[in-house]
Amino acid sequence: MGAALMQQCIRCYVSRRVQGVFFRAATREKALELHLSGWARNLPDGRVEVLACGEAEAVGSMQEWLQVGPPHAQVAAVDCAEMTIQAPAGFTTG
């Protein structure tokens, strides 16, 4: 089995106090630490949307981290779903 088959992508929606607390920047730092690609962006409704692609174990670690987030975040819910997409290069915030 090739490395591409071991790649996984998830899209997560994180809600409660997750904007204005460096959530996207902290998510990018965690993603780079885990060697993930994707992005984190604020949504107009106050949630943060995260796409994380990489090794399944690392994606799972990111999903666990999103449950808590950075120190000043107050996460109420994280809703994730697997995605079948071409993984983007790098990890951006927007």
**Domain limits for position 48:** 7-85
What SS3 state is found at 91?
A: strand
Residue 75 lies in a domain: yes
Based on the number of CB atoms within 10 Å of its own CB, is 64 exposed (0-12), middle (13-18) or buried (19 or more)? exposed
What SS3 state is found at 45?
A: coil
pLDDT, residue 6, reads 65
In the chain, the amino acid numbered 22 is: F
pLDDT, residue 20, reads 87
Per the annotation, the verdict on 24 as an active-site residue is yes
Residue 92 lies in a domain: no
Q: Which one from 16, 17, 41, 42 is the annotated catalytic residue?
A: 42
Per the annotation, the verdict on 42 as an active-site residue is yes
Residue 37 lies in a domain: yes
Q: Which one from 17, 24, 41, 47 is the annotated catalytic residue?
A: 24
Global pTM? 0.90
pLDDT, residue 86, reads 87
pLDDT, residue 3, reads 46
Averaged pLDDT, groups of 10, the chain, 94 residues long: 66 94 96 97 96 97 97 95 92 91
pLDDT, residue 46, reads 94
